[in-house]
Amino acid sequence: MICISTRGRAPHVSVKEAVLAGLAPDGGLYVPATIARRPESFWAALRGKTFHDVATALAIELAGDEFDHATLINLVRDALSFPVPIVELESTLGVLELFHGPTFAFKDFGARTLARVMALVNTGADPLTVLVATSGDTGSAVAHAFHRVPGARVVVLYPEGQVSAIQEAQFTTLGGNVTAVAVRGTFDDCQRLAKEAFADPQLQSRVRLTSANSISLGRLLPQMFYYAYAAVQAPRGKRLVIAVPSGNLGNLVAGVMAWRMGAPIDAFLAPTNANDTVPRYLTTGRLEPRRSVPTLANAMDVGNPSNLERLQWLFEGDLSKMRAVISSTSHTDQEVKAAIAELFDRYAYVADPHTAIAYLGAKSAQARLFLSTAHPAKFRDVVEPIIGVPVPLPGPLADALARTKSVQRVTPVLSELAMLL
């Protein structure tokens, strides 16, 4: 696969080079130079297959000749060794559960695959520093995926006081090659710091930096797998609209890339929390980022979503084409609480706030499927008072809460982060 920058001012690179680089040298985001549409026969052959069969088939298609097939098969099965169930709530509504990985969030798909790919392609003598900004689940997924990986260290930037206690415990208690850095600011500050670090030539000359945020194409490509799987499981002849809870838009971009590849998906809903940059953009055509505000769905607290640049590239800068495939709504914390209660009362289904937003989006346009991106136990302080029953805490999460945290703190200034790096 040949990869190019969304800004068109950087050399073409291989997917291996794009994975190691993270951000393109012109400040753009790497995307596949072309996304060839696979014929209906390709997708028909995947119907009835397991998730791992579908994931392997897509991995082989995407990688081309950069990895041998046996390596890819083993890599996918090792990285994604957990179930991906579709739970039917009604005959016309299902939820794709993406939280059965080791850190109980959908970020495990991209992070675990990326870690294994980097281990294969990182042949440099100097250690690779994986710099990641998190608003919640990315930090834990990346930290666990790269923990104790030889030749790599992880630096997690997160907004101090703005992630849940469980999320924080997951990436601040590992130690070893994982460093947690609390930034006195918002997630947008963390994301800006990471981008500034990647764009600083002096820092890059001293430290081999790469990204595991959704700015990394290597994080997004594996997320295409579950869209393809959901699409080939759906009933033939029925319109498939998927509701994707949206913050930084990486998950949505993965879905759109699967759609561009020919996966039988008709449209996407991109519901957000009160950080409504995306629905405003789709309504007005004006991109007006705002400082993010804290909400119950904290992993989606993004006021300036990086991956909107990729979406614009995928739709050739044509807003009308984007609107034909994607619609978006924003939802308040009160709506989220009501949705959590409704899911429990109507379906006996326990959902976290992000999943509740996906459900709200699905209801708004009668989508057939919505994504559940985090285990409800990660947000039990929100969920339990609403549903009135305890949410069992999985053993690994309880273990993380019991361990001692180790955190460094910085203000959102590059010079402070550079000293730490």
d(CA 149, CA 147): 6
* Pairing verdict, β 241-243 and 267-269: parallel
Q: What pLDDT is attached to residue 342?
A: 98
Sketch the domain layout of the chain as residue ranges: 83-104+219-387
Which pair of structure tokens corresponds to residue 194?
Answer: 């990471």
Q: What pLDDT is attached to residue 125?
A: 67
Point out which residues pair with 90 in neighbouring strands.
93
User: What is the per-residue pLDDT across 236-280, written as a single tens digit (0 to 9) for each?
Assistant: 888 999 999 999 999 999 999 999 999 999 999 999 999 999 999
State the pTM of this model: 0.93
For the chain, the farthest-separated pair of C-alpha atoms sits apart, in whole angstroms, at 57
* Pairing verdict, β 30-32 and 86-90: unpaired
Q: What pLDDT is attached to residue 126?
A: 77
393-396, Cβ contacts within 8 angstroms, sequence gap of 24 or more: 394/104, 396/102, 396/103, 396/104
Is 6 in a helix, a strand, or coil? coil
Among residues 342, 329, 346, 347, the alpha carbon closest in space to that of 383 is found at 342
Is-contact 140 167, C-beta < 8 A?
yes
Which pair of structure tokens corresponds to residue 107?
Answer: 């970020």
Q: What pLDDT is attached to residue 23?
A: 87
Which pair of structure tokens corresponds to residue 392?
Answer: 């069992």
User: Which ranges of the chain have pLDDT less than 70?
Assistant: 124-125
Point out which residues pair with 242 in neighbouring strands.
268, 369
Q: What pLDDT is attached to residue 349?
A: 99
Contacts of 181 (CB under 8 A, 6+ apart): 155, 156, 157, 158, 407, 408, 409, 410, 417, 420
- In the DSSP assignment, the letter for residue 99 is -
Contacts of 193 (CB under 8 A, 6+ apart): 133, 157, 183, 412, 413, 414, 417
Rg (CA), the chain: 20
Among residues 227, 257, 239, 255, the alpha carbon closest in space to that of 46 is found at 227
Classify domain 83-104+219-387 at the CATH class level. alpha beta
Contacts of 206 (CB under 8 A, 6+ apart): none
User: What is the per-residue pLDDT across 329-369, written as a single tens digit (0 to 9) for each?
Assistant: 999 999 999 999 999 999 999 999 999 999 999 998 888 99
Q: What pLDDT is attached to residue 121?
A: 86
